[in-house]
Amino acid sequence: MPIRPHKCPQCGTFTTHIHDYRMTKIKHLKFSERKTILFYRKRRYRCTCGKRFAEQNPIVERYQRFSKEWNQMAQVRAVKGKTFK
């Protein structure tokens, strides 16, 4: 993903200063009946106020370990299922 300005959640200013990168494992939908795990190199930004925060991305929500597509599929299967236990 390209580097672009992100808004600081604390003070509201925009910053492009990169603090570091972190590797996260994200479970994704099956591909050819095999489990798929994405290794995502999460970029973290640093603001002038001292706050450090992660970039927003289209792959995964904040604090999640499953992709957005995986969560949607789980919701569809829950609705189509015969029991809600």
Domain coordinates in residue numbering, the chain: 6-80
- All residues at 6 or more sequence positions from 25 whose CB lies less than 8 Å from its CB, including other chains: 37, 38, 39, 40, 65
pTM: 0.72
Edge-first strand order for the sheet with 34-46 is 18-31, 34-46, 52-54
CB atoms within 10 A of CB 6: 19
Q: What's the confidence (pLDDT) of residue 83?
A: 67
Beta strands in the chain, from DSSP E residues, in sequence order: 6-7, 14-15, 18-31, 34-46, 52-54
pLDDT, one tens digit for every residue, the chain (85 residues): 889 999 999 999 999 999 999 999 999 988 888 899 999 999 999 999 999 999 988 899 988 999 999 988 888 887 876 766 6
